[in-house]
Amino acid sequence: MSGNWAWEQCNVLSKDQKNHGAMFVPIILGSDKTTVSVGTGNIEYWPLYLTTGNVHNSARRNHGSAVSLLGFLAIPKTDQEFQSDVEFRNFRRQLFHASLKAALEPLKSAMMEPEVTLCSDGHYRRVIYGIGPYIADYPEQVLLSYIVQGWCAKCLADRRNLDESSTVPRSHDHTRLVMQLFNSTEMWKKYGIIDDILPFTAMFPRANIHELIAPDILHQIIKGTFKDHLVGWVEAYIKLHYANSDSILADIDRRIAATPSFPGLRRFPQGRGFKQWTGNDSKALMKVYLAAVVDYIPPQMTQAIAAFMDFCYIIRQYSLDEQNLVALNNALERFQTHRTIFEDTGVRPSGISIPRIHALQHYTELIQLYGAPNGLCSSITESKHIAAVKKPYQRSNRNQALYQILIINQRMDNLASFRNARIAEGTSSICSSGEMILFIIILDPRRLQTFDQMGQHVCCPDLPTLVAQFVYEERYPNDSNPPPSHEYPPIITRGYSYLSAIATFYAPSEQCGIKGLHRQRIHASPSWRNSNATTGSGSARFVLQALS
């Protein structure tokens, strides 16, 4: 971590002489519920992930082992009669914080005195731990900070007017003082604090959960402010001010669907007409949305959306400097100025006091504390669900699968550890004969045909000539005067066609490792959408050729 928070922690630790020379390791936690049942059922898990602040943001974002599964949090359930019971809700909150406290308890002593630890590079170091940022979406932020829904988890802004009230930061000391001076009802209404117990971070040194809640680009900006609010407000404006609103919304969908094929642009053939949106869907829509709606909304509304998009694209950068922060604040000020159009036009007559939008005000401070926010986004934990929860669940027998999921994760971690040890030894891609493996290709059952037959099947009568040209260019790549197509030297007229192949090849990358092998399955489809290449319609059939 390169932000001010890590330096402040080190300054506090350096006041004790015994901590000199120790390495500070921030413990970054993240949790997010996920559903694994498909179609029917309500099988969900609540994984708790752990990573450290001593790795780069790029290492956390890729699908490697920088983020590890720490455990699963309990999901208490009861009869419908008691779902809203106050005692049951208090029990769920207490169980959540007690579980986090128990998970971190083994590290508590090492948060105050250095502990000799074997690091990943094989060296022993004196390490002192500290609770770092917590990655969570807004519902979990409310649960973590023990506040009432609708309030800000980081400051004391009034929920009725979040952006115009005072932004005094929350802290455990303030919560303790409020508990002494006010009763439960007053705490709830005036400060949005739940009078039960303090958050789990109050039991650990140098930890304040209100400060440690990480910025969440996915749910606060991309899916929150943009997809759930701005897009919805534009649609509400059109329905309020146009009699032919349905035809206008259909035209907007047609404009979005007409996006040309271009690198970096996503096409939406059906417009916005699908129910489940992912973060990548919202990012892709953001690139074309303003151009699709600009003719149907007021100029001030266009300026508000454009200012928000400027804010979003700045915040998603891999690194940010002082000039970026100035531009970020400028974009936020423009967005706050122009967004009043939604109040003036009746879309939001009661004002805009939404925690996810209010959270944008805290981003400059959070960037200064923790660095670029894309390394602390909930998209990291959501992508980890696939490898840590969903795929292991699919491999289980689906009956009380938690134990099987834990065993599968343990075995995968052991395999990753073994692989890293082999990489360190320099033997990761060497077979039993001692030769370096660069690639392996496994082909499906083959069929011997002439090139004329293959050309007729894929509606390409020039296939024999094209194959001859390809072979000639491969044999004589430096020939500056190639012969005419009818004078190419004769080749074997028959070959094997394959519909699929499995290619395993040497591919050093963040995902595969320094000396890792990557595997891909390549398919050649004989038909596409009930159209066959032999009829001359639909997509042409791609065939893998191997000369006999």
Give the mean model confidence (pLDDT) for residues 237-259: 90
Same domain, 226 and 369: yes
Model pLDDT, residue 415? 86
Model pLDDT, residue 420? 75
H/E stretch holding 180: helix 172-181
Do 424 and 513 meet the contact criterion of CB atoms below 8 Å apart? no
Q: For tokens 């996920």, name the residue.
A: 34
Same domain, 107 and 123: yes
* Domain termination site, one of 338, 354, 374: 374
Model pLDDT, residue 137? 93
pLDDT band, residue 545 (cuts 50/70/90): very low
pLDDT of 544 strictly over 60: no
How many domains does the structure of the chain reveal? Answer: 3
Do 352 and 339 meet the contact criterion of CB atoms below 8 Å apart? yes
Same domain, 234 and 365: yes
Same domain, 204 and 255: no
Model pLDDT, residue 537? 40
SS3 264: coil
pLDDT band, residue 57 (cuts 50/70/90): confident
SS3 73: coil
Is residue 240 one of the residues assigned to a domain? Answer: yes
Same domain, 281 and 354: yes
Do 526 and 544 meet the contact criterion of CB atoms below 8 Å apart? no
* Domain termination site, one of 345, 374, 403: 374
Tell me the pLDDT tens digit for each residue of 94-112: 999 999 999 999 999 999 9
Do 46 and 388 meet the contact criterion of CB atoms below 8 Å apart? no
- The pTM of this model reads 0.80
Q: Which of 54-58, 70-74, 232-236 has the lowest mean pLDDT?
A: 54-58
Same domain, 203 and 244: no
Q: Which of 79-88, 269-278, 430-439, 530-539 has the lowest mean pLDDT?
A: 530-539
Give the mean model confidence (pLDDT) for residues 219-226: 91
Is residue 238 one of the residues assigned to a domain? Answer: yes
Is residue 22 one of the residues assigned to a domain? Answer: yes
SS3 49: strand
pLDDT band, residue 532 (cuts 50/70/90): low
pLDDT of 512 strictly over 60: no
Model pLDDT, residue 75? 92
* Domain termination site, one of 325, 353, 374: 374
Percentage of the chain surpassing pLDDT 70? 86
Same domain, 253 and 333: yes
Model pLDDT, residue 266? 79
Same domain, 210 and 258: no
Same domain, 304 and 276: yes
Model pLDDT, residue 202? 93
Is residue 365 one of the residues assigned to a domain? Answer: yes
Tell me the pLDDT tens digit for each residue of 414-444: 888 887 777 677 665 545 445 555 666 666 6
Is residue 414 one of the residues assigned to a domain? Answer: no
Model pLDDT, residue 444? 64
End-to-end CA distance of the chain: 57
Give the mean model confidence (pLDDT) for residues 34-47: 82
* Spatial distance between the Cα atoms of 2 and 308, rounded to a whole number of angstroms: 26
Tell me the pLDDT tens digit for each residue of 338-358: 999 999 999 999 889 999 999
Is residue 459 one of the residues assigned to a domain? Answer: yes
Same domain, 221 and 210: no
Give the mean model confidence (pLDDT) for residues 385-406: 91
pLDDT of 247 strictly over 60: yes
pLDDT band, residue 27 (cuts 50/70/90): very high
Same domain, 287 and 317: yes
Tell me the pLDDT tens digit for each residue of 152-164: 999 999 988 888 7
pLDDT band, residue 466 (cuts 50/70/90): confident
Model pLDDT, residue 422? 76
Model pLDDT, residue 526? 64
pLDDT of 32 strictly over 80: yes
Same domain, 339 and 264: yes
* Spatial distance between the Cα atoms of 274 and 283, rounded to a whole number of angstroms: 15
Is residue 208 one of the residues assigned to a domain? Answer: yes
DSSP code at position 513: B
How buried is residue 294: exposed, middle or buried, by Cβ count under 10 Å (0-12/13-18/19+)?
middle
Do 66 and 51 meet the contact criterion of CB atoms below 8 Å apart? yes
Do 311 and 335 meet the contact criterion of CB atoms below 8 Å apart? yes
Q: For tokens 């024999």, name the residue.
A: 464
Model pLDDT, residue 443? 67
Q: For tokens 């990943």, name the residue.
A: 120
Q: Which of 172-176, 192-196, 217-221, 490-494 has the lowest mean pLDDT?
A: 490-494
H/E stretch holding 256: helix 245-257
Q: Dihedral of the CA atoms 107, 64, 43, 153 (nearest 10)?
A: 60
Q: Dihedral of the CA atoms 8, 10, 11, 13 (nearest 10)?
A: 130
Model pLDDT, residue 206? 93
Is residue 433 one of the residues assigned to a domain? Answer: no
Give the mean model confidence (pLDDT) for residues 125-130: 94
Supply the range of the domain harboring residue 461.
439-547
* Spatial distance between the Cα atoms of 219 and 146, rounded to a whole number of angstroms: 20
* Spatial distance between the Cα atoms of 167 and 175, rounded to a whole number of angstroms: 15
Average pLDDT over all residues of the chain: 85
